[in-house]
């Protein structure tokens, strides 16, 4: 008896985006055709040797009463909020809704508003609770003088460092991310250097990508808020990432929390394509 095996393939049209060097695969899922993409398929799409290659994959889907739902997956298929991915999503959505410049969308951490202003896209981030100092027991393990954690849609660890070289980012980032304190849930690790008043430079090791990325929107937000609280800065903070410049504005409250947090910067379509998986 002869048996036959049939492999069912799916062709997926996509757009490749980058936002200050943080790159993404954007997929129009308004029809719901790609809602069942598996973690393995998403990881394959993001693979830089066997797939399209990206730091994350984003499905743009329908959302009742809103413009769209942003379903963001890291390169390993895990879920989180992504500030640069959100800004890329707004640019992508502007192609689906020609002429529209203001959007309201749903993400994993809640509802967000966004605006397009020329080459800059601004995202209203969620309110942020006060930063926490990392306990001395952890600092001794990491051999650091001081560090801070806070949640800006994704969890972030922020430490002042002059050496923002990739080797230092990856070595220190992996040491902290896979430590006993953080290995189960994971954490993004940011090295921050103060350049001048209102201007900082950062480098980020991202969980889910498990490597340094050229930019991290939620990381830039976290570092700007830590900097503002440490130095009592109430003005917008410019954040130099390795892929460009971002701007973070905010209102600091009396309890050291932050409201009206806005992340702004460019997002650029690199190309359109399709892939069969």
CATH architecture of structural domain 14-122+267-276: Roll (3.10)
**What tokens appear for 68 in the block?**
């769209």
The one catalytic residue among 46, 57, 216, 223: 216
The one catalytic residue among 46, 57, 82, 223: 82
- Give the integer Cα–Cα distance in Å for 41 and 79: 14
pLDDT at 267: 98
Active site residue 57: no
pLDDT at 4: 43
For the stretch 149-158, pLDDT in tens is 999 999 999 9
pLDDT at 201: 98
Instruction: Say what angle helices 83-96 and 217-231 make with each other, to 10 degrees.
Output: 130
**Fold match flag (14-122+267-276 vs 132-265):** yes
* pLDDT at residue 215 tops 70: yes
Active site residue 46: no
Nearest to 103 by CA among 85, 120, 125, 123: 123
- Collapse the DSSP code of 227 into the 3-class scheme (helix H, G, I; strand E, B; otherwise coil) and give the result: helix
Q: Which CATH number fits domain 132-265: 3.40.190.10, 1.10.3210.50, 3.60.15.10, 3.10.310.10?
A: 3.10.310.10
């Amino acid at each position: 008896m002869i048996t036959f095996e049939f492999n069912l393939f799916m062709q997926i049209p996509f757009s490749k985006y980058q936002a200050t060097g943080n790159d993404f695969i954007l997929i129009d899922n308004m029809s719901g055709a790609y809602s069942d993409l598996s973690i393995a398929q998403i990881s394959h799409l993001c693979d830089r040797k066997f797939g399209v290659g990206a730091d994350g994959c984003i499905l743009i889907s329908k959302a009742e009463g809103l413009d769209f739902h942003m379903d963001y997956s890291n390169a390993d298929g895990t879920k989180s909020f992504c500030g640069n991915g959100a800004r890329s999503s707004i640019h992508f959505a502007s192609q689906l809704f020609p002429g529209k410049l203001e959007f309201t969308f749903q993400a994993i951490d809640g509802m967000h508003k966004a605006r397009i202003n020329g080459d800059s896209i601004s995202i209203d981030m969620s309110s942020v609770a006060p930063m926490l100092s990392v306990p001395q027991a952890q600092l001794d393990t990491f051999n650091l003088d001081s560090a801070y954690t806070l949640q800006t849609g994704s969890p972030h660890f922020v430490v002042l460092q002059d050496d923002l070289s990739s080797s230092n980012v990856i070595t220190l980032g992996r040491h902290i991310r896979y430590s006993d304190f953080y290995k189960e849930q994971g954490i993004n690790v940011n090295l921050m250097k103060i350049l001048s008043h209102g201007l900082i430079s950062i480098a980020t090791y991202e969980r889910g990508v498990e490597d340094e990325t050229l930019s991290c929107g939620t990381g830039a937000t976290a570092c700007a808020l830590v900097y503002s609280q440490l130095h009592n800065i109430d003005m917008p903070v410019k954040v130099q990432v390795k892929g460009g410049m971002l701007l973070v504005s905010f209102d600091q409250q009396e309890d050291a929390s932050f409201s009206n947090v806005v992340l702004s910067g460019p997002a650029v379509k690199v190309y359109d394509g399709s892939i069969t998986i």
